[in-house]
Amino acid sequence: MRQRSLLPDNEVTFTSRSVKAVTFQGKLSRPIHRWYRLTPSFSPILAEDIARHFGLTEDDHVLDPFSGVGTVPLCMKYRRIGASSIEVNPYLHFVSAVKTRTYTDIEEIADCLGSFVREYRSFNRAPKDAADAQRLLREHEAFIPPIHKPLRWWSEGNLAQLACLRRLLLAYQAEPQHLDLLRMGVLGILVPVSNAKHNHVSLTFDDNPRPTVNIANVIAAKYREMTEDLRSVCAQTCSEVRVYHGNSKAASAVLHGGPKASAVITSPPYPNRFSYARETRPHLFFLNFVKNAEAVGQLETDSIGGTWGKATSVLAEGVAPLNRVVDSLLAPYTARFNGSGELMANYVTKYFNDMYSHAAEIDKVCRSKARLAYVIGNSKFYGHPLPSDEILAAIFAEFGFRLDGIDRMRKRQSKSGLYEAVVFLSR
Evaluate if residue 9 carries a pLDDT over 50. Answer: no
Q: What is the pLDDT of residue 92?
A: 98
Mean local confidence (pLDDT), 151-163: 96
Evaluate if residue 227 carries a pLDDT over 50. Answer: yes
Share of the chain above pLDDT 70, in %: 96
- Contact assessment for residue 259 and residue 34, using Cβ atoms and an 8 Å cutoff: no
Q: What is the pLDDT of residue 376?
A: 97
Q: What is the pLDDT of residue 310?
A: 82
- Contact assessment for residue 161 and residue 168, using Cβ atoms and an 8 Å cutoff: no
Domains of the chain, each with CATH number or no CATH: 24-102+238-426 (3.40.50.150), 106-233 (no CATH)
Q: What is the pLDDT of residue 203?
A: 84
Q: What is the pLDDT of residue 111?
A: 98
Give the residues across from 197 on adjacent strands: 204
- Mean pLDDT, all residues of the chain: 92
Please tell me which residue, 414 or 100, carries the higher pLDDT value.
Answer: 100
CA atoms within 13 A on the CB side of 312: 7
What is the band of 313 on the pLDDT scale with cuts at 50, 70, 90? confident
Q: What is the pLDDT of residue 338?
A: 65
DSSP 8-state assignment for residue 280: T
Which span out of 6-15, 63-72, 298-307, 343-352 was modeled with the highest average pLDDT? 63-72
What is the band of 8 on the pLDDT scale with cuts at 50, 70, 90? very low
Mean local confidence (pLDDT), 12-31: 93
What is the band of 257 on the pLDDT scale with cuts at 50, 70, 90? confident
Q: What is the pLDDT of residue 244?
A: 98
The DSSP-derived string for 187-230 is HHHTTTTSSEE-SSSS-EE-SSPPPP--HHHHHHHHHHHHHHHH
Evaluate if residue 165 carries a pLDDT over 90. Answer: yes
Query: 159: part of which helix (H) or strand (E)?
Result: helix 156-171
| The pairing of beta strand 196-197 with beta strand 418-426 | unpaired
pLDDT in tens, 131-156: 999 999 999 999 999 999 999 999 99
Evaluate if residue 12 carries a pLDDT over 90. Answer: no
What is the identity of the amino acid at 341?
Answer: G
pLDDT in tens, 62-114: 999 999 999 999 999 999 999 999 999 999 999 999 999 999 999 999 999 99
What is the band of 298 on the pLDDT scale with cuts at 50, 70, 90? very high
DSSP 8-state assignment for residue 288: T
pLDDT in tens, 349-393: 999 999 999 999 999 999 999 999 999 999 988 888 999 999 999
Name the phi and psi angles at 388, rounded to 5.
-60, -35
